[in-house]
Amino acid sequence: MAFPETHERETRTLLSRHMGEEEARTLDGWRERGGYGALEKALEMEPDEIVTTVKESGLRGRGGAGFPTGVKWSFMPEKGDDPHYLACNADESEPGAFKDRELMRWTPHLLIEGCVIAARAIQAEHVYVYVRGEFFEVIRILNRAVTDAYEAGYLGEDILGSGWGCDLTVHVGAGAYIAGEETGMLSSIADGRAEPRIKPPFPAQSGLFGDPTTVNNVETLSSVPMILDNGADWYRQWGSDDSPGTKLWCCSGHLNRPGNYELELGMPLKDIIHDVCGGVPEGRQVRAVFPGGSSTPILSRDELDCETTYEGLSEAGSALGTASPIVMDESTCIVRAMRRVAHFYAHESCGQCVQCREGTAWVTKILERIERGGGEMEDLDTLYDLCEQMTGKTICVLADSVVFPLESSLDKFRDEYEAHIKHDRCTATA
Partner 1 sequence: MPEEENSDLVSLTIDGVEVQVSEDSTVIEAAEKAGVVVPHYCYHPGIPTRPAQCRVCLVEVEGQDKLQPSCKLPVQDGMEVHTDSDDAELARKSVIEFLLVNHPLDCPICDAAGQCMLQDYAFETGQLQSRLNEEKLVMGRDRIADDILYFADRCIICTRCVRFMREVAQDDSLVVAQRGDRAYIDTFPDEDLDNPFQGNIVDVCPVGALVHEDYLFKARAWDMDKTPSICPGCSNGCNVTLDTKENQIVRLKPRYNGEVNSYWMCDYGRKHLVMGNRGVRTEVPLVRQGGELEPMDWSDALAAVGERLGGIEGGSAVVSPDACNESLHYFRRLLDTLGVPADAGSYRVEQGEEHTLPGFPKLTLREDRAANGTGADLFGFRRVESWPEPEPGAPLFVLQETLREAPESYAEDASFFLYLGSHLSPAARRADAVLPVTTFAEMAGTFTNHEGRVQRFQKALQPPGIARPAWMVLSGLLARSGDGSPVLDAADAFGEMTDERPEMAVLNWGRVGLKGQTLDSGAGAEAGAGAR
Ligand X SMILES: Cc1cc2nc3c(=O)[nH]c(=O)nc-3n(C[C@H](O)[C@H](O)[C@H](O)COP(=O)(O)O)c2cc1C
Contact set with ligand SF4 (CB under 6 A): 178, 196, 349-353, 356-357, 394-396, 398-399
* Cβ-based nearer residue to ligand X, 47 or 61: 61
Residues 28-57 that bind partner 1 (CB under 8 A): none
Cis before 200? omega within 30:
yes
Amino acid type, 230: N
Q: What gap in Å lies between CA 317 and CA 338, rounded to an integer?
A: 18
Report if residue 394 touches partner 1, rule: CB under 8 A.
yes
Burial class (CB in 10 A: 0-12, 13-18, 19+), 158: exposed
Q: Is residue 272 at the binding interface for partner 1, with CB under 8 A as the rule? A: no
Nearer residue to partner 1 within complex by CB, 167 or 418: 418
Task: Please identify, among the stretches 24-32, 59-67, 205-213, 243-251, the one whose residues bind ligand X according to the rule CB under 6 A.
Answer: 59-67
**Interface with ligand X by CB under 6 A: which range of 87-95, 152-160, 311-319, 386-394?**
87-95
Q: Which residues share a beta bridge with 246?
A: 264
Among positions 193-212, residues that touch partner 1 (CB under 8 A) are 193, 197-198
Diameter of the chain measured on Cα atoms: 73
Site for partner 1 contains 3 (CB under 8 A): no
Distance CA 200, CA 322 (A): 24
**347-386 positions binding partner 1, by CB under 8 A:** 347-355, 357-362, 365-366, 369, 376, 379, 382, 385
Rounded least distance, CB 89 to ligand X, Å: 3
The binder of ligand X chosen from 35, 63, 212, 225 (CB under 6 A): 63
Per CB under 6 A, the list member of 217, 294, 355, 394 interacting with ligand X is 217
Angle, vertex CA 393, rays to CA 387 and CA 396, nearest 5: 100
For ligand X (CB under 6 A), the number of binding residues is: 23
- Tell me: does residue 405 bind ligand X (CB under 6 A): no
Binding site for ligand X (CB under 6 A): 61-65, 67, 72, 89, 91-94, 178, 180-182, 215-217, 220, 396-398
Binding site for partner 1 (CB under 8 A): 176, 178, 193, 197-198, 346-355, 357-362, 365-366, 369, 376, 379, 382, 385, 389, 392-395
